Amino acid sequence: FFLILCLFVLGVFLTCTHTAKEASKKTKKAKLYVPQIDCDVKAGKIINPEFIAKCPPGCQDVKHRVYGTDIYASFSSVCNAAIHSGVIDNTGGKVLVQKVAGHSGYRGSFSNGVRSLSLPRWRESFLVSEGKPRKGVTYPSTLEYSSSKSTAVKSEPKKPEQDLKGTKSADTANTSEKASDQGHTVRKEHQTTPAPTPATEMATTTRTPTTTTRTEPSTTVPQPTTTPAAPRTTAAPAKTRPGLHRVRDMGQVQAAQGRGQNPAFRGTSTSASNRNILRHNAGKAMEIDSWKPGLSLFDTGKYLNHLVTSLGINCKVDLSFLMDGSWSIGKRRFQLQKRFLGNMAQALGIGSAGPLMGIVQYGDDPSTEFNLKTYTNSKDLRNAIEKIQQKGGLSNVGKALSFVNKNFFLDANGNRGGAPNVVVVMVDGWPTDRVEEASRLARESGINIFFVTVEAAAQSEKQNVIEPNFVDKAVCRTNGFYSINVPSWFSLHKVVQPLVKRVCDTDRLACSKTCLNAADIGFVIDGSSSVGTGNFRTVLQFVANISKEFEISDTDTRIGAVQYTYEQRLEFSFDKYSTKQDVLNAIKRISYWSGGTSTGAAISYASEQLFSKSKPNKRKIMILITDGRSYDDVSVPAMAAHQNGVIAYSVGVAWAAPDELEAIASDPPKEHSFFVDEFDNLYRYVNRLIQNICTEFNSQPRN
């Protein structure tokens, strides 16, 4: 009996062991689903701190830029970085990506057919390795993208910019904006699967103690109060400055009220100095009804703290607000402006690891109220904003922009270098000086400029505006991203959400200098008889292929061209064409000249006719294409061009002399001179030429 019992126990044990092994095998066989990403996806756009992704074939392309070697800036293409590091090749494959801290410098190099670029600093880095899971780490089957990626979903709520157009009351608009945010967050919870690793907490950057988590669809958002504040009946009218005000005709007021408009929001003065309209009679009632701090959703700290988190924004910018302190704004509206700036500080979540904010007030002259390092939390910053006193004076915005460009974004003032520099200009009506040149110089110094204009000039006032369309001239794009117009100071609180999204969208902050938008490029083209008509058209195609890779406009990269034989001819100057298509059409129209080859004289001519007219702070780049030895000396004219700041690239074809190509080229010659045996092979050097231009640009110190 004892023997039978032992055999029974042994049988049960063996059966259990076999079952456990089979279950273990099934568990091991469970495959990880690896999400696929596109070639242009940057590591910084994916929130997950560690993930495995599958890259498609064909990612080895210069347009998918890579910054760094071994450790890459998060602004880099994941797949092209993996090719550069040797983890995969151009056929694609799985890649393991691990996010790490930002670095003070990234070294460019050429590896595995990919040239990576140098970068002085960046806020976040990543490592790439073979796409095999690490022990003990579970990887997401769906990647979580930051807001600019996820907003492409068709069911997204309306764009926040559209809220400016609505006719709802301020309270209704605020409620709908909050509901949109809540819907956005809930949708995002269902769409994404976070990586269940200890680092997941990094992705859930909730700045306030709410119950929001990434795995709970029932995200809670603080609700606005529905108890209306008691109307103010004893509001005293704002003080007036004698001679600066004008009473609106009461008939016009009544007509405006009949159309549902606020008559106090439109200017009627006839000069820039008396724009602060007397609003006591018509505007008093509207001011009492329209501004109820107790009802403003943006005065609730919980909502403002929640704003950046609910939008999924990882924001690190160095931000300066240019505050309008002119007399035209008046005392009451100056207070509304301060409240708006305080709400922006709260919504951004000021901190040393996130956005930093300083304020410059302008009137006749600008002055810094506080710089980037003065306050490192939203509470102290808001308290400081409340204490700001109005300067008065004119609205000299151009002078203020020049001041910020030269004095604000300095290391001594807290500028971090790796964070984008952003300026938001608040303007009541219009400036009393010119802004175009000051704005251009600021942008070319790496500053991204936004304009928030309030109560724009009425039709009858436009004759008094010094610089018509001043906003379009001040910002780098006229597509509306860099400018917001608000009909009145009383609706300014609606701008908080769209402005936070824009200043934090680092991918679209394209106004700062890059290698593609900060140059004056002059092509010096050999039109001698040895080239021939057919080959000359090939040269023009080479010129066009290079040109179309740059961002071309009157405020970005500009293109000019000179053709030469014994003589020289200016085909078109830098200021002739301001769109890419116009430049490409102009290149196509260049007619073949034919003659001798005086390359030295052509370099001197280009220096005088093109580069002497280059804009300040533009990088002057000369690209010379020739097919033979010059009849005159090239070294002296080339040296003179180099000394005047021209970066020279030489491209030789067929019978071009190597010693002359090196003499023409800037140092080091091997990075600035190229040679091809025949014209049909010129196309092979388009990408390399652009890569070298960008590599050199990225190695230069700048903000």
pLDDT digits (tens, 9 = 90+) for 59-101: 998 888 888 889 998 889 999 999 999 999 999 999 999 999 8
Helices (H) and strands (E) in the chain — how many of each?
21, 19
* Of 373, 369, 371, nearest in space to 386 by CA: 369
Segment 268-285 shows an average pLDDT of 32
User: Which of 196-200, 443-447, 453-457 comes out lowest in average pLDDT?
Assistant: 196-200
How many other β-carbons are positioned within 10 Å of the β-carbon of residue 687? 16
Model confidence pLDDT, tens digit, residues 406-426: 899 888 898 887 678 899 999
User: By CB neighbour count within 10 A (0-12 exposed, 13-18 middle, 19+ buried), where does 467 fall?
Assistant: middle
Q: What does the block give as tokens for 370?
A: 């506080």
* Of 504, 439, 514, nearest in space to 471 by CA: 439
pTM of the predicted model as reported, rounded to 2 decimal places: 0.41
Q: What is the mean pLDDT of the chain?
A: 75
Q: What does the block give as tokens for 314?
A: 């990882």
- CA distances for 382 relative to 293, 299, 373, 386, 458, angstroms: 16, 11, 14, 6, 33
Report the relative pairing of strands 71-73 and 122-130 from DSSP bridges.
antiparallel
Which pLDDT band, with edges at 50, 70 and 90, does 444 fall under?
Answer: low
Model confidence pLDDT, tens digit, residues 665-699: 999 888 999 999 999 999 989 988 988 887 777 55
Model confidence pLDDT, tens digit, residues 170-205: 333 333 333 333 333 333 333 333 333 333 333 333
Which pLDDT band, with edges at 50, 70 and 90, does 538 fall under?
Answer: very high
Check residue 242 and give its pLDDT.
33
